[in-house]
Structure 1
Amino acid sequence: MHNRYSTHLLPQRERQDYWKGVIDNAYFPLELDFHNPDQFNGQLSQWQMGQLDISRLETSATCYKRVARQIDESEPYFLISIPAQEQVRFSQADRTVVCNPGAFILERSDLPYEFSYNKDNALWVIRVPVSQLRSRIREPERFLYMEFDKRRGMGNVFFSFMRNIVQQSSYTDDAAHDVLSNQLIDLLAHSMENDDRVLMSNEANLRSVHLRNIETFVRENIQRSELSPDMIACACQISTRYLHKLFKDSDQTVSQWIKELRLQSALNDIRADTGHTTLAEIAYRWGFNDQAHFCRLFKARFGCTPKEMREA
């Protein structure tokens, strides 16, 4: 099923209420704050593919808020937002992530949040029942508030497949939509699990338990500069040797994984910060106790210094 909505033929005074209804029907109830109400325009195309809803929005600058009174007991959703034109800013559970064109983020519908962009924007949004993603990967909540690359690797395969099934939706029936939507969820799960910041997730039993404990401990203590393999092993009640063995099948060491987590977190803070936090404070916040060392690592990873990233 394909639905299309647009404000372009409506009088300006009717557009805000109309768009509020469109958004509520397409996703769930939200509060909308239009940056320039007198000049707002929006259009939305929506495709229902099996248990998925895929939509493409093109709108003027807008802020979408999900508040506690709007959240009910029905099946919660994950939203995958993929900006195509301008960056978007998402805040939920005291976390903020800035997602740029070329990337995508995962969001939850059953917690209050704020989602905004300050310029005219176009973006894809996929609505997935939480149960569907949980059936593919362990604890998908681990992937919240992380920016994933859609320009290469499995992220690109996932995004390209999504666009292809949308383009061919009028030539495929409901049975095909069920098959294709399941394949798309599989690709989404695989693209997130393949990210270097996420530990291997398809391990059996005891290894899986150890990996989950390691990941939980590191994410809860990532801001501590003294975080080390010995500390992690002790906290997870395994030997340091076994800890390194668990990482042997990945393409990174324990220390490389921790460094990547820290650099990505610092990158997001630099993008999200409005200038009230110094770069030194951001470095210390994520466990870098030497700012010069932090700058060298940041430039080696992202091709520019933290200062240049903030100015950009």
Structure 2
Amino acid sequence: MHSCHQTSLLPVQERQDYWRGVIGSTYFDLALHFTEQQRFYGQLWRWDVAPFGISFLSTSPTCYRRLKQHINRHEDHHFLITLPERHEVHFSQERRSVRCRPGGFILERSDKPYEFEYGQDNSLWVVRVPGSLLRARLRLPERYLFSEFDRSQGLGAVFFDYFRSITNQVACLDDRQAALLMRQLIELFALAVEGDPRAIASDDSGLRQVHLQRVEQYIREHIREPGLNPEQVAAACGISTRYLHKLFQGQEFSVGQWIRELRLQGAEADIRRGGSGRTLADIAYKWGFNDQAHFCRSFKTRFGITPKAARRG
């Protein structure tokens, strides 16, 4: 679905409330402060590609605050990939911050309070990604917060070029095609941030970071093997099973849960893609599920619908 919103035809006194509603429906609840209240303007183009969102907005200087009362712990939160076009933006959360200039991009998380602002008239692209989906590809997306990534060269440029090609053609694509391309975009985003040396600026020790990357790479490479389990992963990566579990301690997924999440996300993408002629049993087996009944139960628990319903989708 495509929609466009603008304030230019509204009386000045109505623009700010209107814009708050536009922002809330496009992203999530936020408190807005307008630096130049008497001359505020805003335009926003929005494409909904379930479960993703793409938007392009141009506004006068604005501060967006995500407050505690805006956050519902029982809902799947989102990450935002932000790409400023005209001027610098500033994102701060939990006493850490990052500035992003045109030519770069940053990652933001929505499940904790934050402040996002720009002090000059600005235009920016924003991609909204479900937290669970991004976490299936980047086990700890928090490692990639507060880093400015370069979109002018290397994998960052590949990611941005692919993103712009999607936005140029999204109106010509059906929902299934657009969703498939968006999943590939997230894969490119993950490759870009993982390949940027500045992304290693995390609280993890260097050795712990090396182990995590090796574990994640091994799991992705062997995710379709039915027998993949923590013991196999630990042995292949040269660490103890106990240490492997410790690496995942305090995170959203345990190692076993993350393996299951990757498999379910892969199966769900294949089912919604359609056109392959594969049966549901074939897809379940492809992604490491030996028991189709168990696969169907796990799928419905995770996505709220059965695999058959997802295929009809």
Query: What's the TM-score once normalised by structure 2's chain length?
Result: 0.65
C-alpha root-mean-square deviation of aligned residues, in Å? 2.0
SS at match of 1:191: helix
Identity in percent = 46
**Secondary structure in 2 matching 1:22:** helix
Q: Secondary structure of the residue that 2:115 maps to in structure 1? A: strand
Q: Rate the CA distance shift 1:46–1:143 in 2: closer, same or farther, 3 A.
A: same
Structure 1 match to 2:264: none
* Matches of 2:47 and 2:94, distance apart in 1: 30
Cα shift at 1:50: 3.3
Query: Is 1:156 paired with 2:180?
Result: no
Structure 2 counterpart SS, 1:135: helix
Correspondences of 1:108-257 after superposition (within 5 Å): 108-197=109-198, 198=200, 201=213, 202-204=216-218, 205-206=233-234, 207=237
Deviations 1:76-122 (A, max 9, x none): 00111111100001110110111111111111101000000000000
Instruction: Figure out how many residues of one structure are paired with residues of the other and give that number.
Output: 213
Aligned residue number for residue 60 of structure 2 = 60
Aligned AA (2:42): G
Give the match for residue 21 of structure 2.
21
* Paired position in structure 2 for 1:44: 44
Deviations 1:137-196 (A, max 9, x none): 221111111111111111111111111111111211111012111111111111111111
Gaps spanning 5+ residues in structure 1: where? 218-312
SS in 2 for 1:188: helix
Q: Distance in 2 between matches of 1:186 and 1:203?
A: 14
Q: Secondary structure at the match of 1:115?
A: strand
Matched with 1:84 is 85
- Runs (5+) with no aligned partner, structure 2: 201-208, 219-232, 248-313
What residue is the counterpart of 2:33 in the other structure? Answer: 33
**Which has the higher mean CA deviation after the structures are superposed, 51-60 or 163-172?**
163-172
CA contact (8 A) 1:50 1:181 kept: no
State the SS of the aligned residue for 2:137: coil
**Equivalent position of 1:11 in the other structure:** 11
Name the residue aligned to 1:280: none
Q: Is contact 1:102-1:151 (8 Å) kept? A: yes
Counterpart-to-counterpart distance in 2, 1:9 and 1:208: 64
The one-letter code of the counterpart of 2:169 is: Q
